[in-house]
């Protein structure tokens, strides 16, 4: 940033969509091909937002070198002030993180689980009301594993259904804004029997 508060462009980075971001502080837990792709796409779409990575030390370092995230750590505490927490691991990893969110996240936040709602619904409903869970698996063609298989274009023109888990449909609208910002095609998911 310059002394006037204007953000300097990143070499090779996009200029952003110009639309105000729906989220200012975005934590992505899991910086593999999908989480890394989302981080890269968000850095392009919403350059004024802070993108925080949570993964192993090696994955965080690689993501910083690739300019996918602004900051990161292996400890969930780095996400404490996030207003969006994205769980981009596999089902077991996402289920393992959910119980720790209430202690790690200080205020209100939307939690986006990049997967189906039904398997995570019981754990999501155990969270305090200030953490609103939205779920939906993006229709992405992932080729490879890890941050080096990530691409900012992964979600472009891809369907991405999202649904609230346990109420608060306003969070769905904000996540759909995110989906549009990264080039995806948002839709309302068919509700699971949760």
143 — alpha (psi -120 to 50), left (phi > 0) or beta? beta
Asked if residue 191 has pLDDT above 80, the reply is: no
Query: CA angle, corner 95, sides to 89 and 100, nearest 5?
Result: 100
CB 30 within 8 A of CB 57: no
User: 132: helix, coil or strand?
Assistant: strand
Query: CA angle, corner 58, sides to 41 and 119, nearest 5?
Result: 60
- 9-26 mean pLDDT: 65
Residue 105's H or E segment, with its range, is none
- 107-116 mean pLDDT: 95
CB 183 within 8 A of CB 40: no
pTM of the full structure: 0.86
Question: Can you read off the two tokens belonging to residue 40?
Answer: 């890269």
Q: Which domains does the chain have, with CATH numbers?
A: 25-137+152-187 (3.40.50.720)
CA distance 48 to 181: 13
At residue 55 the predicted structure's pLDDT band, cuts being 50, 70 and 90, is very high
What's the mean pLDDT when you consider all of the chain? Answer: 87
pLDDT tens digits, residue range 63-94? 999 999 999 999 999 999 999 999 999 999 99
SS3 content of the chain, % helix, strand, coil (to 5): 30, 20, 50
Tell me which residue of 144, 147, 180, 141 sits closest to 162, measured CA to CA: 180
Tell me which residue of 65, 44, 11 sits closest to 53, measured CA to CA: 65
- 165-194 mean pLDDT: 80
- Rounded to an integer, what is the distance from CA 99 to the centroid of its chain? 18
Question: What share of the chain has pLDDT > 70, as a percent?
Answer: 86
Asked if residue 5 has pLDDT above 90, the reply is: no
């Amino acid at each position: 940033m310059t002394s006037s508060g204007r953000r300097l462009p990143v070499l090779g980075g996009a200029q952003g969509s110009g639309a105000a971001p729906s989220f200012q502080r975005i934590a992505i837990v899991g910086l593999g091909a999908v989480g890394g792709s989302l981080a890269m796409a968000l850095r392009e779409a919403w350059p004024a937002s802070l993108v925080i990575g949570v993964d192993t030390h090696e994955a965080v370092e690689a993501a910083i070198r690739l300019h996918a995230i602004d900051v990161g750590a292996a400890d969930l505490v780095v996400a404490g002030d996030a207003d969006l927490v994205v769980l981009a691991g596999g089902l077991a990893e996402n289920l393992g993180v959910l119980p720790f969110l209430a202690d790690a996240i200080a205020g209100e936040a939307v939690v986006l689980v990049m997967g189906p709602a039904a398997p995570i619904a019981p754990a999501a409903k155990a969270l305090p009301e200030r953490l609103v869970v939205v779920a939906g698996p993006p229709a992405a063609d992932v080729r490879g594993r890890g941050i080096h298989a990530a691409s900012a274009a992964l979600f472009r023109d891809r369907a991405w259904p999202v649904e609230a888990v346990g109420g608060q449909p306003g969070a769905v609208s904000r996540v759909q804004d995110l989906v549009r910002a990264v080039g995806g095609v948002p839709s309302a998911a068919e509700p699971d029997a949760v």
